[in-house]
Amino acid sequence: MPELLAQLGIARSSYFYQRARVNLEDKYVTIRRELTEIFESNHRCYGYRRLQASLARQSVTISEKVVQRLMKQERLVVARPRRRRFGSYLGEISPAPENLINRDFHAKTPNEKWLTDITEFQIPAGKVYLSPIIDCFDGMVISWSIGTQPDAGLVNTMLDAAIETVTDGEGTTLVHSKVAAFDGRLLLVDWGLASTGAADDDPSEIASYCQAGAQFGFNML
């Protein structure tokens, strides 16, 4: 034995200390079980601080370092959401329409100028997106749609409902959007409506007209 310890570079006292510990009973058997039960019953979301607080409420006193060590040994790892990788690809960008609005967000007659945008709302169930159309004539909401994805389906559903309100014989309606790639342009062309937009529009200039749509969205949610 001395020759083996010398070859391994282990002190004699260290060898006998570790051999004695192998035969010792684990004093954290009960705490390990309680930690696992608390961790699993809370959907594997508790870290070492909350686990320690839960044990403290059960009159179990244990240090944070011991809780961390036991969690590591029992493989109690909190699941973390993966970070979404940034992608710069914007897809196929169609040519920007002519800026026919030219920052004049006033209309003398109904259905002369419409404003539309997509607004994101954070609710307990997750993210939802509101896509309304507002008439510049009186600030009323012409149509709206709500969905969980800010995609073409959300915009086209809103446009379909708005187009149904336009009667034959009315002049061309200008639709102004702050969305970078307005998904409903082909639909507007089919119905004889005109799309307009400008990248340098000041959002504060149309805030008063979009206030009705924002308030409408909060009321719906």
Q: Considering the chain, what is the average pLDDT of its residues?
A: 76
Q: Alpha-carbon distance 56 to 53, whole Å?
A: 5
Pick the CATH number of 113-220 from 3.30.2270.10, 3.20.20.70, 3.30.420.10, 2.30.30.100: 3.30.420.10
Each residue's pLDDT tens digit, 33-63: 999 999 999 989 999 999 999 999 999 999 9
At residue 92, the pLDDT reads 63
At residue 201, the pLDDT reads 46
Q: CB–CB of 141/216 below 8 Å?
A: yes
At residue 71, the pLDDT reads 94
What are the extents of the domains in the chain? 2-74, 113-220
**At residue 197, what is the residue type?**
G
- By C-alpha distance, which of 208, 170, 212, 178 is closest to 195? 178
Is residue 194 helix, strand or coil? Answer: strand
Q: Alpha-carbon distance 106 to 139, whole Å?
A: 10
At residue 155, the pLDDT reads 84
Highest mean pLDDT among 87-91, 99-103, 115-119: 115-119
Per-residue pLDDT, averaged over 80-98, amounts to: 68
Q: Alpha-carbon distance 167 to 190, whole Å?
A: 15
Q: CB–CB of 59/52 below 8 Å?
A: no
What six digits make up the tokens of 144?
């709206």
Strand 119-123 to strand 126-135: parallel, antiparallel, or no bridges (unpaired)?
Answer: antiparallel
Q: How many CB atoms lie within 10 A of CB 118?
A: 19
Q: Alpha-carbon distance 110 to 90, whole Å?
A: 35
Each residue's pLDDT tens digit, 147-195: 998 888 888 888 888 888 877 666 556 665 655 444 444 444 444 455 5
Per-residue pLDDT, averaged over 63-75, amounts to: 94
